Structure 1
Amino acid sequence: MEHFEAAPYDDWQHTKETLHRFVQIVGKVRLAASVRRNHWWNVPFHLTASGITTRPMGFDPTFAIDFDFIDHRAIVQNTDGRRASVALVGQSVASFHGDLLEALRFIGAPEAAESIVDAHPFDLPDAGRAFADDTEHDAYDPVAVSRYWRVLSDVNLVLEEFSGRFSGKTSPVHHFWHTFDIAATRFSDVVVPHTAESDPVTREAYSREVISVGFWFGDPSYPAPAWYAYTSPEPEGLADEPLPGSAQWLDRGASHLAVLSYDATRESGDPRAAALEFLQAAYEAGARRAGWDIERYACVDGVTAAIL
């Protein structure tokens, strides 16, 4: 198996657009059926040995939905053994949505099905069109999706290793269905006040100072896979901090995003080390500027128990 293989955005753009909507449909089931956790940690997907999972949710019944990117199916199953399988190949968004509704009803979760009957994409160009009406997005290249999964798996392990270097409050490494990225977030104890104009998603996600790192597969505004990091609220002078190699600060108007292209790490000879160097530099830049105690929260190989 080749690790950190190439994943050009242009090679699978249309497949990615279809898969993103499949994932959003299932993500909205997770949002409706899971128990709320701080910072919306209940909502993203986690990785498995063959794809991504919602994890168990609901209560009567308890059920989960797993994407299998080896056999290219969505598996819907509950804890009493009822199981349904929905094909990913050859589906439009509308047909996948319809098949998922049937699968949820079959395993005894009609309320979960009802929660997405009229669901729409989140923050995508066709947000005004219901999934049930989307016959436009129907591209699904199994080879490209399997490659996405393998890259996601490699990236996940890098982010897990990076997370082990911090002993403070840290999110799980999780795959967000709304933005189709994978991320891990570090928190300080500083409360961030929000005005009534802030939407509830933003208020909860950024209720504390955070430094978030992650990876995304590209989009029309940045058509290439890349590692990223940001600090919120952004401290003054953050973009003046140095970053390693070809990494740069992208100006997003009200804030800056540290970005290192995935291809740059692949070409370095040691993609894992190059990515970790970038993530650490971006974290330290934000932590210094925000006044975090970097030494206090430093952690070697996930060990915090010192020997006296």
Structure 2
Amino acid sequence: MEKVINYNEWTQTAYTLHMIAQMMGKVKLVRMPAQPEWGHVVLHLTPQGLTTGLIPHGERSFAIALNLDTSTVFAQTISGDTAGFSLRNNTSVSEYYNDFKKMLGTLMCDTVINEVPQEMGTKVPFYDDTDKRDYDGCAARDFFQMYVYAHNALLDFTSPFRGKKLLPSFFWGTFDVSAILFSGKPSPYPGSGVIEANGFDEQFMEFGFWAGDDTLAAPSFFIMPYPFIKDDMAAQGVAPDKAIWSPQKMEYFFTLEDALSYPDPTAAVREFFRNAFDKVTRHENWECIDWFTQPLTIPSWK
């Protein structure tokens, strides 16, 4: 991990990528069979950026990819047909949305989506977002390197868990890469809202990493238990020493910059995950925790 890029250093590019990711995810929302906790709409990391993975569409089944090496968005069908467009300076979301629709139309994969961004501060539809923004390919690649680092740390920690889980995936609504471990205990969301009601319906812990935003610029690892914990978990101790429990957010936080300040950053991130996991599962009386955490007996082939 070579560089930490704060959100306020690349806001225009971050906004553009967030909107492109929303368009990609919304196509999955329309076309993929539904899964619990919105598992069918997540994006996945590739060596170059993000992909939808294969989307069912009969003989025109296709995938959409964001390539940060070439600063392009492209779609490809199973027959090998391709179409796409470039990310560029002085371009609006509205223009990109037209490019996006044209790309899918060229491949006969037209998809009518909800054109209002989800889980974002703005509710301006894609077609009405006409502000021109520049695109910084170097910043985008720096951002992606952080997400790859986080993805690998999340994969390492969550893979041995024997219970139901969602391995590290890119959530286009909140623009983070996260993994989720479930206890198996139903816990319906007490409020309203389609996203929340279907995303928060059983006990879980979400382990993630997000690039920051306008209010908190520092890229950070986070851990969110659900049901939300109102007790002060800081009283039980937080590790490593630079990590915190936020009683306002009811989440743990550990900035990437702080993680990289330790002699072994990867070990520090692992300690952050493990400490919170142990504290929360004990506090919330997770059932079957002994089985969930029983070591795997699969031989290592390294």
8 Å CA contact retained: 2:245, 2:252: yes
Q: CA deviation at 1:238?
A: 5.2
- RMSD between superposed Cα atoms in Å: 1.8
Deviations 1:165-194 (A, max 9, x none): 311111121010010001001101211134
2:80 counterpart of 1:81: yes
**Could you tell me whether the CA contact under 8 Å between 1:183 and 1:213 is conserved in 2?**
yes
Separation in structure 2 between the aligned mates of residue 189 and residue 177 of structure 1, nearest angstrom:
25
Q: Post-superposition shift, 1:139?
A: 2.4
Q: Structure 2: how far apart are the matches of 1:232 and 1:174? A: 18
Unaligned runs of 5+ in 1: none
Listed one character per residue, the Cα deviations across residues 236-270 of structure 1 (whole Å, up to 9, x for unaligned) are 63523211111111123xx5110011100111122
Q: In the alignment, what sits opposite 1:161?
A: 156
The offset of 1:140, in angstroms, is 1.2
Paired position in structure 1 for 2:65: 66
Corresponding position of 2:96: 96
**1:242 has 2:232 as partner:** no
TM-score w.r.t. structure 2 length? 0.92
Which residue matches 1:283? Answer: 277
User: Which residue of 1 is the match for residue 141 of structure 2?
Assistant: 146
Deviation at 1:64, TM superposition (A): 0.8
The answer to whether the Cα contact below 8 Å between 1:230 and 1:282 also exists between their aligned partners in 2 is no
Aligned residues of 2:94 and 2:127 also touching (Cα < 8 A): yes
Q: Which 10-residue stretch deviates more, 46-55 or 17-26?
A: 17-26
1: CA distance, partners of 2:266 / 2:280: 21
- Residue in 1 that maps onto 2:165: 170
Sequence identity, in percent?
25
Cα offset, 1:137, TM superposition: 5.0
Gaps of 5+ in 2: none
* AA at the equivalent of 1:234: F
Q: Distance in 2 between matches of 1:193 and 1:83?
A: 42
CA distance in 1: counterparts of 2:294 and 2:159, whole angstroms: 7
Of 223-232 and 19-28, the range deviating more from structure 2: 19-28
Preserved contact between residue 186 and residue 202 of structure 2 (Cα < 8 Å): yes
Partner Cα separation in structure 2 for residue 186 and residue 238 of structure 1: 22
- What amino acid is aligned across from residue 244 of structure 2 in structure 1? Q
1:235 and 1:121 map into 2 onto residues whose CA distance is 29
Residue aligning to 2:183? 188
In 2, Cα distance between equivalents of 1:130 and 1:200: 19
Is the CA contact (8 Å cut-off) linking 2:211 and 2:220 kept in structure 1?
yes
* Residue among 204, 212, 227 paired with 2:206: 212
Q: 1:8 corresponds to which residue? A: 6
- TM-score, normalised by the number of residues in structure 1: 0.90
Residues 282-291 or 86-95, more deviating: 86-95
Cα distance in 2 for partners of 1:154, 1:299 equals 26
- Mapped partners of 1:167, 1:4: distance in 2: 33
Whole-angstrom distance in 1 between the partners of 2:165 and 2:271: 19
* Cα distance in 1 between the residues matched to 2:189 and 2:122: 29
- In structure 2, what is the Cα distance between the partners aligned to 1:58 and 1:194? 30
Which moves more between the two structures, 177-186 or 87-96? 87-96
- CA separation of 1:304/1:201 partners in 2, compared to 1, >3 Å: closer, same or farther? farther
The AA in structure 1 aligned to 2:98 is G
Q: Distance in 2 between matches of 1:265 and 1:137?
A: 35
Distance 1:137 1:291, change over 3 A: farther
